[in-house]
Structure 1
């Protein structure tokens, strides 16, 4: 299928589910085997529910993924290098995430604005594609639309995503399997 621009699949791991208050602890993306990954030491505690989902904890000023220490960078540096990463792709770039409308896109926009990076960001990104809504539009008769179920159903594999990089890569695989047309994509895109 001929598409203009590039779709980059991204995933945030956060300290919680509060769109207006959570802190990003991992920012990852995947596009055609080009990976972006940054861990960020949060300045607020990680909620227990979030740790159950993402496996991230903080102890004595160190971030751990499943009890293994990871190198961290500042949130500002992570955002600026993410914008640089996105700028390497033919534009306009669309960022795709499962539930981007209600969570991932909103959280990312909030922190970009907080650090006065939104203008720089929108020079390379033109919108957000919500793959949750896309899956509902393409396959309305499925019993559920969460990523683990979709991976098992369409890719026939065991859902084994232990961090945001693996989740972004699996989302890209799902999207490529679905092979939506431009109209399907436009229907679930929030333009910046």
Structure 2
């Protein structure tokens, strides 16, 4: 039986990999051909390794993507817009990301709490699905389980690692068009919001 609720696929591009201190520089999401995308000017430098992945740099108070300036929105307003976007679907939704439990979920929860937006967030979101362990359960025979490999394996396409929206769209396509997990599999790899308070 197909999952009855809404699952929104999301991805963060950040200044680095430290979940306690990194800043979000792009917040992207995809659900049913409706995308969300906000770039955010970080308050700390973007690490070289992060720039190598996402192509984002800061110069003279301006965010650039591969040398081209991009329009930014404050983190607070980006989060508010994101909550509004999530609220436009049949709620509460599940948020899905590849390695959600180890990174995206942790960073997003930290900044929501920092801006006292968690209560608004939990009105529209019921939990986080981590598609990394889900993919391991569904396809134990695979050699690797990172998203670039899964995209090449199933979609036979190129992985656009430096774009949060493209990552979200590709994950959504993998999830619904190729994996089609059972409800119990989705539930098994979901962190429910009520348990994260």
Short-chain TM bin? over 0.9
The whole-number CA distance in structure 1 between the counterparts of 2:3 and 2:141 is 27
How many angstroms does 1:141 deviate by?
1.4
Q: Does 1:135 align with 2:151?
A: no
- How far, CA to CA, are the matches of 2:54 and 2:158 in structure 1? 17
Rounded Cα–Cα distance in structure 1 between residues aligned with 2:90 and 2:83: 13
Query: What is the match of residue 151 of structure 2?
Result: 151
Q: Counterpart in 2 of 1:105?
A: 105
Instruction: Find the aligned partners of 1:159 and 1:125 in 2 and give their Cα distance.
Output: 28
1:11–1:164: 8 Å Cα contact kept in structure 2? Answer: yes
Asked if 1 retains the 8 angstrom alpha-carbon contact of 2:30 and 2:172, the reply is: yes
Q: Matches of residues 1-12 of structure 1 in structure 2 within 5 Å?
A: 1-12=1-12
Which position in structure 2 is the counterpart of 1:160?
A: 160
Residues 47-73 of structure 1: CA deviation (Å, up to 9, x unaligned)? 011111111100011001111110000
Once the two structures are superposed, residues 103-151 of structure 1 have per-residue CA deviations (whole angstroms, 9 ceiling, x without a partner) of 0000000000000000000000000000111101111111000111101
The total of aligned residue pairs comes to 192
Partner of 2:79: 79
- Provide the secondary structure at the position in 2 that maps to 1:140: coil
Contact 1:4 1:91 in 2 (8 A): no
Instruction: Give TM-score scaled by structure 1 length.
Output: 0.98
TM-score under structure 2 length normalisation: 0.95
Alignment of 1:53-132 (within 5 A): 53-132=53-132
Q: Call closer, same or farther: CA 1:188–1:66 in 2, change over 3 Å.
A: same
Alignment partner, residue 51 of structure 1: 51
Q: How large is the RMSD of aligned CA atoms in angstroms? A: 0.9
Structure 2 Cα separation of the partners of residues 145 and 180 of structure 1: 16
Note if contact 2:159-2:167 (Cα within 8 Å) is conserved in structure 1. no
Shift of the alpha carbon at 1:3?
2.0
Q: Is the 8 A contact 1:25 1:41 kept in 2?
A: yes
The answer to whether the Cα contact below 8 Å between 1:55 and 1:65 also exists between their aligned partners in 2 is yes
